[in-house]
Amino acid sequence: MPQANNTPVRSALIAALLALVGFVANAQSPPPSTLKTDSVLSLKNNSLDEVAIKAKRGELPETQQISLRAPAKVKIDGKANEWNNDFHAYNHHTNIFYSIANDDDNLYLVVQAEDPVAINKIVGGGLTFTIQPSLKQNYKDAASITYPAYRITKGDAGVIFHLIHPEDTTTKDAMIMRDNHNQQLGHLCRWIRVTGIAGFDTLTSVYNETGLLATGMFDLRERYTFELRIPLKALSLSANEGTKFAYHIQLNGTNPYGPNPIPPWPGPPIMMMRPIGLFLMAGRATGKPADNYVDPIQAAPTDFWAEYTLAKSPL
């Protein structure tokens, strides 16, 4: 007895099933008009004022060549907005943009690093700014400020960050990464080391009443901006006299004992994947010895000496 031909029936069932799958998929996907612009815009195509750098490496001297009056109402917040993201030197020994400025009361140092090694040298072991009242390049009678400061022990080491942005990173994801980085900085970078200045504790809290301020923050491009303010009276310097002094900037390098262990991300596993997972720090504690591996290049200090003349108040 001949068998019935079921091919048309099977084809109809398959077509119906595919139509149902397509209906469900379309029902779960928001129409293009409802998507927020900042969630789909690639960061590399986003021209935000926050991430604009005017200074170009090749156009700047190795060390600052001019005296500079600080902008009015400088806010030490880890952002270079009041400086117009415009720097007066790019030092190739340390791979940092920087400017030194002063007003009648304070000396300022603003640094911006976009090189991940330079960034991790700073956040992992601090940046030390040394002011030598004479023009001799030594540490006799010098005042030194280090931020961030850590107790260099196995139990209290600096941190390092995993700084990578895929080409298609969206602005929304970049904001998540930036905010997480800065939250970790706020939690871990709470001390300033002071030497050679009378009346200051060796370890001074970032929350102090001496007028000494320091902070560092990431922007959307994972560039790190470091800002420091030192009262001139603490340095026995006077802007009115146009005093000239030698200074030393050193990126101390990551802690030789390795980075601080950061607790694993408590969220769902999908949050560990790229690109969102890139906001997690390298050296995250997973119980593996390799987590505390220290890159010898990042651990090696880099530095330079230069001179600055305090800018007098304009008439």
* CA nearest to 272, candidates 259, 261, 284: 284
Say whether 170 sits in a helix, a strand or coil: strand
Cα gap 198→127, rounded to integer Å? 21
**pLDDT at residue number 29:** 40
Cα gap 255→269, rounded to integer Å? 30
Backbone angles phi, psi at 50, to 5 degrees: -60, -30
Q: Supply 274's token pair.
A: 């790229």
Q: How many CB atoms lie within 10 A of CB 277?
A: 15
Say whether 116 sits in a helix, a strand or coil: helix
pLDDT tens for each residue of 83-100:
988 899 999 999 999 999
**pLDDT at residue number 315:** 72
Look over the chain and give the mean of its residue pLDDT values, rounded to a whole number.
78
pLDDT at 274 over 50: no
pLDDT tens for each residue of 196-218:
999 999 999 999 999 999 999 99
* CA nearest to 228, candidates 109, 80, 68, 77: 109
Say whether 90 sits in a helix, a strand or coil: strand
pLDDT at 147 over 90: yes
Say whether 217 sits in a helix, a strand or coil: strand
**pLDDT at residue number 262:** 40
Candidate ranges 68-72, 184-188, 311-315; pick with highest mean pLDDT: 68-72
* In contact, 208 and 202? CB cutoff 8 Å: no
Q: Which sequence spans correspond to the domains of the chain? A: 39-309
* CA nearest to 74, candidates 97, 113, 102, 93: 102
Q: Supply 129's token pair.
A: 């700014």
Question: Which residues lie below 8 Å from residue 280, measured CB to CB, with a gap of 6+?
Answer: 162, 180, 262, 265, 272
Cα gap 226→215, rounded to integer Å? 6
Residue 258 pLDDT grade (very low, low, confident, very high; cuts 50, 70, 90): low
